[in-house]
């Protein structure tokens, strides 16, 4: 089975993340969306909310599994037998940042990183932009899947 891990904080999942996952399931038998737990980071949404947003967005997609994890991504990949890490690239700055991580991951393990370019229509979206729109009471719904609901 070709299993890919798509790691991130997903605070919240955006239409860009959604697009990468949808395209990833065409390439892999299973895409494990892995929400990293970082106790040093302050999140807008709880871990449970972030997990539910993703699960609800992919309710009818058996090839998508949503989990949480702590520690090194490559260690978690080995734990779940994922041979690939899936990452989306929006711009050259993303590439430089992700390239360094991919080289490090390959040095630590045999895990390969697969990069997908974001779709032009979602390349400007980031979770931090979405959070800023939400904080300022803007229409965030055009930036995220329908499953992201603010109470």
List active site positions.
Answer: 17, 41, 90, 127
Say which residue the tokens 């390969």 belong to: 112
CA dihedral 21, 148, 89, 120 (to 10 degrees): 100
Q: Which helix (H) or strand (E) holds 147?
A: none
Residues in contact with 91: Cβ distance below 8 Å, sequence separation at least 6, in sequence order: 123
Residues in contact with 88: Cβ distance below 8 Å, sequence separation at least 6, in sequence order: 16, 17, 19, 20, 94, 115, 116, 117, 118
The radius of gyration of the chain's CA atoms, rounded to the nearest angstrom, is: 15
């Amino acid at each position: 089975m070709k299993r890919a891990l798509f790691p991130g904080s997903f605070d919240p999942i955006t239409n860009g993340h959604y697009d990468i996952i949808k395209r990833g399931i065409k390439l892999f038998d299973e895409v494990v969306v892995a929400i990293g737990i970082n106790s040093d980071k302050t999140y807008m949404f709880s871990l449970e909310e972030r997990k539910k947003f993703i699960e609800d967005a992919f309710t009818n997609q058996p090839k998508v599994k949503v989990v949480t994890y702590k520690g090194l991504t490559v260690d978690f990949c080995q734990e779940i037998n994922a041979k690939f890490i899936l990452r989306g690239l929006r711009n050259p700055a993303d590439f430089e940042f992700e390239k360094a991580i991919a080289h490090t991951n390959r040095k630590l393990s045999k895990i390969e990183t697969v990069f997908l370019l974001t779709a032009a229509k979602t390349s400007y979206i980031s979770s931090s932009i979405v959070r800023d729109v939400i904080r300022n009471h803007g229409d965030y719904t055009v930036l995220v899947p329908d499953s992201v609901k603010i109470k």
